Amino acid sequence: MRVTVFGATGLLGKALAREWTDDDVSGLGSKDADIRDPKQISNVIQRTQPNWIVLAAAYTDVDGCEGNPEHAFAVNCRGALNVAKAAKQFASRLLFLSTDYVFDGAKNRPYETNDPRAPLNVYGRSKAEAEVQISEVLPECCILRTSWLFGNDGKCFPDTILKLAASRPAIDVVDDQRGSPTYTADLARTIIQLCRSDAKGIVHATNRGNCSWFEFAREIVADVRLNSMVRPTTSEQFVRPAQRPRYSVLSSKSLQKQAIEMPTWQDALRRYLRERKAVS
């Protein structure tokens, strides 16, 4: 199988490159092909002739998107649509990475794939709009929603917490947003399985279980036995430019239909921490 990954220089893209060893995978960063430019995309696809395109390229700075909606929509929506059109033209299958932030978080049970989209922030709106427009061009594409990514290939929440905990006696972390942390290595393996099994439609894929950011931080600090105290706070106390859903847990039913079960987030965190120690 030939695979082309857009966003290969990012947190997930790097994990994908490491995990995806049994197929012919071409990875591209924004310098290789800017997805805002249809010509650059078709040149790449013409050259790589992929059976599958994995579209992990995005402007992922959620607060940055709030201040720069034009760029958010140019990359996350129109750029993604450019890739979908090229996939159609060259008869490639497409797996598009999307987000739990397409939901508003008003539910208190895990979100199903057919729950209505109601994003609270610009990033979520740009992704939700992309989902709709891509599905119109390519009804058989696979839209993979995930959440709270962490991994050893760049900036992520556990890395930030570990650095703060090493230098401060106490850290305050919000306890009123719930979601599912997801290890990029586990998500990469799931993506490979989905492409191999010719998955179509919307799929939700995260590590199993859920927590608040506070609970996640507490587990991180406890696992590495740091002395810093982790204290719960609220989104009101910790105001950020973009509003986040207070509950964005994604149901695993769509993944179960594909006969895939991802490890728990606690198990994933322990493997991340072991790997982090090994590479540092």
Ligand X SMILES: NC(=O)c1ccc[n+]([C@@H]2O[C@H](COP(=O)([O-])OP(=O)(O)OC[C@H]3O[C@@H](n4cnc5c(N)ncnc54)[C@H](OP(=O)(O)O)[C@@H]3O)[C@@H](O)[C@H]2O)c1
Binding residues for ligand X, rule: CB under 6 A, are 6-13, 29-31, 34-36, 56-60, 75, 79, 97, 99, 146-149, 154
Smallest gap, in angstroms, from Cβ of residue 72 to ligand X? 10
Q: Which is nearer to ligand X, 83 or 230 (CB)?
A: 83
Q: How far is the CB of 62 from ligand X (least distance, A)?
A: 8
Cβ 176 vs Cβ 235: under 8 Å: yes
Check 59, 101, 111, 123 and give the catalytic one. 123
Complex with ligand X: residue 60 or 228, whichever CB lies closer:
60
Phi and psi torsions of 103, nearest 5°: -105, 155
Question: What is the smallest separation between the CB atom of 59 and ligand X, expressed in angstroms?
Answer: 6
H helices of 116-173, in order, are 122-137, 157-167
Active site residue 123: yes
**b/e for 234-259, b at 16 or more Cβ within 10 A?**
eeeeeeeebbbbbbbbbebebbeeee
Beta bridge partners of 27: 5
Find the angle CA(77)-CA(101)-CA(237) to the nearest 5 degrees: 130
Point out the residue whose Cβ comes nearest to ligand X.
10
Contact assessment for residue 56 and residue 12, using Cβ atoms and an 8 Å cutoff? yes
Q: Is 143 or 228 the residue whose CB approaches ligand X more closely?
A: 143
Least distance in angstroms from the C-beta of 137 to ligand X? 17
Residue among 233, 84, 130, 99 at smallest CA distance from 173: 233
Residue whose CB is less far from ligand X, 182 or 228: 182
Buried b (16+ CB within 10 A) or exposed e, 67-84: eeeebbbbbbbbbbbbbb
Please choose, from the candidates 120, 176, 174, 114, the residue with its C-alpha nearest in 3D space to the C-alpha of residue 145.
114
Nearest CB to ligand X, comparing residues 97 and 228:
97
Closest distance between ligand X and the C-beta of residue 51, in Å? 20
Catalytic machinery residues:
123
